[in-house]
């Protein structure tokens, strides 16, 4: 069976962010799974402008150069893992902006969350589930919630324990099921 293409999106751009070591861990573990072909999308590298295009992305009229490039990149994936911090009981603004910038390319595809924060990023994920469901995505029922993630950090590395690895592996399984199911359904359209 063909590999499922997934994008792992780093949901923070601030200096010293925790999201990057966590995303690096996700990339390392997903690379061990032959069913996936994964790409890291670092929003710090993308530096998408705050959405200010003349047309709502749901119209499919993309006028910005970076918007078009983002659409192509998002459209190439069969599913997503959002590494999501919690900022003031919600998702980070940069992640919301990345979601808002394009529309159809996300749709009918699964989205998984690896979240972190005092309560494991729980409130951020609840918001993300609402937002992504409204964008015709399929947010997964389970998520990886990392509490006290900073204690497992060693510079650029996130030293996950057995529990975190097991939870992430279960998330990959769920993402694979939905990813394959929805890909087949899209191909049958």
Ligand X SMILES: Cc1cc2nc3c(=O)[nH]c(=O)nc-3n(C[C@H](O)[C@H](O)[C@H](O)COP(=O)(O)O)c2cc1C
Q: Which residues contact 187 (CB under 8 A, 6 or more apart)?
A: none
Q: Is 145 in the site for ligand X (CB under 6 A)?
A: no
By CB under 6 A, tell whether 34 contacts ligand X: no
State the number of binding residues for ligand X (CB under 6 A).
14
* Residue in this structure with the two tokens 């609840």, named with its chain if needed: 126
Residue 118 binds ligand X, judged by CB under 6 A: yes
Q: Residue 164 interacts with ligand X (CB under 6 A)?
A: no
179 binding ligand X? (CB under 6 A): no
Count the Cβ atoms, other than its own, within 10 Å of residue 112: 25
* Binding window for ligand X (CB under 6 A); candidates: 16-24, 28-36, 42-50, 61-69: 16-24
Footprint of ligand X on 69-108 (CB under 6 A): 85-89
**Does 17 contact ligand X by CB under 6 A?**
yes
Quick one: 38 exposed, middle or buried, by C-beta within 10 A (0-12, 13-18, 19+)? Answer: buried
DSSP type of residue 141: S
Distance CA 176, CA 173 (A): 5
CA distance 80 to 49: 21
- Among the listed ranges 1-9, 14-22, 53-61, 105-113, the one in contact with ligand X (CB under 6 A) is 14-22
Q: How far is residue 179's CA from residue 46's CA, in Å, rounded to a whole number?
A: 25
Residue 119 touches ligand X, criterion: CB under 6 A: yes
Q: Which is nearer to ligand X, 101 or 124 (CB)?
A: 124
Binding site for ligand X (CB under 6 A): 12, 14, 17-19, 85-89, 116-119
């Amino acid at each position: 069976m063909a590999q499922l293409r997934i994008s792992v999106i780093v949901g923070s751009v601030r200096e010293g962010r925790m999201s990057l070591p966590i995303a690096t861990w996700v990339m390392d573990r997903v690379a061990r799974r032959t069913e996936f072909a994964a790409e890291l999308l670092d929003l710090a590298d993308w530096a998408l402008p705050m959405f200010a295009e003349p047309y709502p992305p749901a119209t499919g009229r993309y006028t910005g150069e970076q918007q078009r490039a983002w659409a192509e990149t998002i459209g190439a994936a069969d599913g997503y893992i959002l590494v999501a911090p919690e900022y003031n009981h919600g998702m980070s603004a940069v992640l919301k902006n990345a979601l808002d910038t394009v529309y159809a390319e996300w749709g009918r595809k699964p989205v998984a969350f690896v979240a972190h924060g005092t309560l494991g990023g729980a409130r951020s994920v609840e918001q993300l589930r609402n937002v992504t469901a409204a964008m015709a995505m399929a947010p997964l029922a389970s998520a990886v919630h990392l509490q006290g993630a900073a204690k497992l950090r060693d510079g650029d590395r996130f030293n996950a324990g057995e529990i975190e690895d097991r939870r992430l592996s279960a998330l990959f399984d769920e993402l694979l099921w939905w990813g394959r199911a929805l890909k087949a359904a899209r191909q049958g359209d």
